Amino acid sequence: MSVTRRELITGAAAGATGLVVGGVLGKTLGGDDGGGGGGDSGLSGQAEAVAKARDLNSENVTRAVKTFVPPGAKPGDKNADEFFLFSSGGHSGQILVIGVPSMRLLKVIGVFAPEPWQGHGYGADSSDSVIKAGTDSKNKPSSAARGPLTWGDTHHPALSETKGEYDGRFVYINDRANGRIAMVDLRDFKTKQILDVPNLDSSHGGVFCTPNTEYVHISTMSPTLVDPSKAEKALETFKDSFRGYSTFLKVDQKTGKMDLAQSFQVELPPYTQDLADSGKLSSEGWVFINSYNSEMASGGNLTGGKPIEVGASANDFDYMHIINWKKAETVVGSKSKVMNGMRVIPLETAVAEGILYLAPEPKSPHGVDVHPGGNYISVGGKLDPHVTIYGFDKIKAAIDGKQFEKNDPFGVPILKLDAVRAGSVEVGLGPLHTQYDDKGYGYISLFLDSAVAKFSVGEPYFKGADAFKLVDKLPVHYNIGHLVAMEGDTVKPAGKYLVALNKWSIDRFPVVGTLKPQNFQLVDLTGEKMEILTDMPIGIGEPHYVQGIRADRIKAWEVYPVGTNPLTMEKDPNAIADKGEKIQRTGSTVEIWSTVRRSQFKPDNISVKQGDKVIIHLTNIETTPDATHGFSIPRYNVNVSLDPGEAATVEFTADAKGAFAFYCTEFCSALHLEMQGWLLVS
């Protein structure tokens, strides 16, 4: 139930909600909202005075009340955050976790970039090994990366699903820059795997989970040069030298990890494959990937060639790729070749086996988003003011009836647009991405208009002339890219809220230097008209996609069972209990087993010789939530977070001579400052 502005101001809803802003506020702030009526109280007088002193009008107060989460609100309370956003952190390489409707930043999860606060990539084996394994040059046609890579451009988070609904187990996210993908376990919100995806040099929007997380999908963005020894003439022979790859990474249901041995790719033409989405319900078993630059333009603007953006938008149509992955699964065992450790179904095979089809998409398409019912697929063409809606029933019929316009230059059949289009809606300039609510509406971002358009999306909610219609439009601030409606890309959207991910904030926040924050705007979807509730500056990275999940689907751990290694989520063989502490020297290796608790490391004196290999096993033996300790060694670039119960191992060569005062980096107790020790390297 939502409280309207009028109810709030007049106090009509006060009885039901216990909200007593009351009549005085109404009178003072009333304006066009009118005023008067409703119960008056001491609280209303106070609220009125505060609102007046802070120059807040009734609309501001209503919005504040809709988003305010009182201190101490417990998950599940009516006044607590009902949803979490999992947001890409863009070129910060991280994931951001944000509460809705409060729009409070709850966590930054270190993924591709080392993150000292969590000890991600600063000496602990459990994270260092993940970052290191994430740069695997054997997987790429191009030669060795100058790794390990320590940053990523996170773009598209994909929450794991069961029967097309988020299940709160894992979240995957891609690195746009380096063609990689990572997995975060939502039991402890930590990165467990970074996979350098074979044959992918880059990847943009092609990330999603299939409806039961059988696979997580990722595709190329810029196509890959298959034989790097041909780099010199590669752009002149673009059509033959480059290929795209649609990748299905098999997910281990217990650990969430992706298993290359059971994964496969479908080879694609060297267009720029962009956003992608999974079929669901009636379209389950299929995936849809749009593309641009079917012109295969490669630039050359200094030597008389067309700039890439001109060459790449010359054609009126690009192509949606329609892939039957259930069919591909049956073919991959016998008809694939192995390339850089990955089974690949060649393009000709994909065509011959009926695995790959194309459908025309208007002018520089970007988003492709499957409707909760599974039948409709919305595509925004950046240079076309319409959203084009395809019907999967029509696509199936067109494939069965061989309604092809022609083949593309690689022999892939192109379906007739008229045969597969279910409708189109003129929405405005620069349509990009669509999300859905629980009432049959779609919401599409309009980059050039800086707006969100709401439109009806066919059956079962809308029929006949109402089937595909623009119903509302809301200006946002500014240059919106993605948008997210709560659970808005699942089979059961939650509606209620939408967040606009605006690339520019211009005048919305105080000037904090020349690099400005992005702007997340929370939009209320419960009324007839969409309404902005609040702005949230994003001061880290440039988020691309975000998914919004019901908070109660996440079952995160508060503490680890004592001795847990976060990488395996099992007891670490080197974890020790109280009194198990020891130091052991074998040749030039010194191995230390240390307990960590409020307020000491034991042992607190470690003496080694210069050049020794030092291995320190740390076990935080605390079981109290939040009793986290840090372990840092100055000058050795070591900073480990030891959450309650966590076990970690730090290994290094003691090459710097001196006395190094290691210390706890978390203010854990009254004697936190005393929680230190000495590493002597002589």
Q: Is 482 in the site for ligand RUQ (CB under 6 A)?
A: yes
Return the residue of 269, 374, 481, 541 that touches ligand RUQ, per CB under 6 A: 481
Residue 481 interacting entry, from ligand CUA, ligand RUQ, none, C-beta within 5 to 8 Å by type:
ligand RUQ
Q: Is 591 in the site for ligand CUA (CB under 6 A)?
A: no
From residue 613 to residue 642, the character string flagging contacts with ligand CUA as x (rule: CB under 6 A) and all else as - is ----------------x-------------
Return the residue of 300, 553, 672, 680 that touches ligand CUA, per CB under 6 A: 672
What angle do the packed helices 22-29 and 42-53 form, to 10 degrees?
30
Residue 545 interacting entry, from ligand CUA, ligand RUQ, none, C-beta within 5 to 8 Å by type:
ligand RUQ
d(CA 5, CA 12): 10
Residue 666 interacting entry, from ligand RUQ, ligand CUA, none, C-beta within 5 to 8 Å by type:
ligand CUA
Give the C-alpha distances (Å, rounded to integers) separating 283 from 211, 280, 375, 463: 11, 5, 6, 21
Q: Give the H or E element holding residue 550.
A: strand 546-550
Q: With contacts defined by CB under 6 A, name the span among 304-312, 568-576, 610-618, 667-675 that binds ligand CUA.
A: 667-675
Q: Which is closer to ligand RUQ, CB of 380 or CB of 440?
A: 380
3-state secondary structure 607-676: EECCCCEEEEEEEECCCCCCCCEEEEECCCCEEEEECCCEEEEEEEECCCCEEEEEECCCCCCCCHHHCE
Residue 482 interacting entry, from ligand CUA, ligand RUQ, none, C-beta within 5 to 8 Å by type:
ligand RUQ
Cα dihedral 138, 143, 149, 153 sign: negative
Residue 668 interacting entry, from ligand RUQ, ligand CUA, none, C-beta within 5 to 8 Å by type:
ligand CUA
Number of residues that bind ligand RUQ (CB under 6 A): 12
Q: Is 5 in the site for ligand CUA (CB under 6 A)?
A: no
Omega within 30 of 0 (cis) for the link into 478: yes
Q: Which is closer to ligand CUA, CB of 450 or CB of 665?
A: 665
Q: Is 462 in the site for ligand RUQ (CB under 6 A)?
A: no
d(CA 366, CA 447): 11
**Which residues, 6 or more positions from 382, have their beta carbon under 8 angstroms from its beta carbon?**
363, 364, 365, 366, 430, 431, 432, 447
Residue 675 interacting entry, from ligand RUQ, ligand CUA, none, C-beta within 5 to 8 Å by type:
ligand CUA
Q: Which is closer to ligand CUA, CB of 345 or CB of 675?
A: 675
Q: Is 394 in the site for ligand RUQ (CB under 6 A)?
A: no
Q: Which is closer to ligand CUA, CB of 483 or CB of 675?
A: 675
Site for ligand RUQ in 156-175 (CB under 6 A): 156
Give the C-alpha distances (Å, rounded to integers) separating 169 from 92, 139, 190, 455, 457: 24, 27, 12, 32, 30
From residue 233 to residue 272, the character string flagging contacts with ligand RUQ as x (rule: CB under 6 A) and all else as - is ----------------------------------------
8-state DSSP, 252? P
d(CA 486, CA 495): 6
Q: Which is closer to ligand CUA, CB of 667 or CB of 678?
A: 667
d(CA 179, CA 202): 4
d(CA 22, CA 17): 12
8-state DSSP, 205? S
Site for ligand RUQ in 570-609 (CB under 6 A): none
Minimum distance from residue 256 beta carbon to ligand RUQ (Å): 23
Cα dihedral 56, 60, 65, 71 sign: negative
Residue whose pair of structure tokens reads 């307020």 in the numeric block: 599
Q: With contacts defined by CB under 6 A, name the span among 427-435, 473-481, 535-543, 665-673 that binds ligand CUA.
A: 665-673
Return the residue of 124, 486, 538, 664 that touches ligand CUA, per CB under 6 A: 664
Q: Is 204 in the site for ligand RUQ (CB under 6 A)?
A: yes
Minimum distance from residue 385 beta carbon to ligand RUQ (Å): 17
User: What are the backbone dihedrals phi and psi of residue 291, each rounded to the nearest 5 degrees, phi first?
Assistant: -145, 160
In terms of residues, how long is the chain?
Answer: 682
Q: Which is closer to ligand RUQ, CB of 10 or CB of 479?
A: 479
Return the residue of 544, 597, 617, 629 that touches ligand RUQ, per CB under 6 A: 544
Q: Is 508 in the site for ligand CUA (CB under 6 A)?
A: no
Return the residue of 91, 140, 169, 366 that touches ligand RUQ, per CB under 6 A: 366
Q: Is 666 in the site for ligand CUA (CB under 6 A)?
A: yes
Q: With contacts defined by CB under 6 A, name the span among 123-131, 278-286, 476-484, 666-674 that binds ligand CUA.
A: 666-674
Residue 640 interacting entry, from ligand RUQ, ligand CUA, none, C-beta within 5 to 8 Å by type:
none
d(CA 19, CA 12): 10
Residue of minimal Cβ distance to ligand RUQ: 481
Q: Which is closer to ligand RUQ, CB of 61 or CB of 432?
A: 432
CA-based Rg of the chain, rounded to a whole angstrom? 28
Q: Which is closer to ligand RUQ, CB of 13 or CB of 546?
A: 546
Closest CA to 504 of 535, 534, 480: 480
Return the residue of 545, 631, 660, 663 that touches ligand RUQ, per CB under 6 A: 545
Q: Which is closer to ligand CUA, CB of 2 or CB of 624?
A: 624
- Is residue 211 within 8 A of residue 278, CB to CB? The reply is yes
Return the residue of 91, 155, 371, 421 that touches ligand RUQ, per CB under 6 A: 155
Q: Is 76 left (phi over 0), alpha (psi -120 to 50) or beta?
A: left
Minimum distance from residue 199 beta carbon to ligand RUQ (Å): 21
Minimum distance from residue 292 beta carbon to ligand RUQ (Å): 12
Q: Is 133 helix (H, G, I), strand (E, B) or coil?
A: helix
Q: Is 432 in the site for ligand RUQ (CB under 6 A)?
A: yes
- Is residue 629 within 8 A of residue 648, CB to CB? The reply is no
Give the C-alpha distances (Å, rounded to integers) separating 157 from 45, 85, 249, 446: 46, 10, 15, 21
Q: Is 392 left (phi over 0), alpha (psi -120 to 50) or beta?
A: alpha
Interface contacts to ligand CUA, rule CB under 6 A: 599, 629, 664, 666-668, 672, 675
Interface contacts to ligand RUQ, rule CB under 6 A: 155-156, 204-205, 275, 366, 432-433, 481-482, 544-545
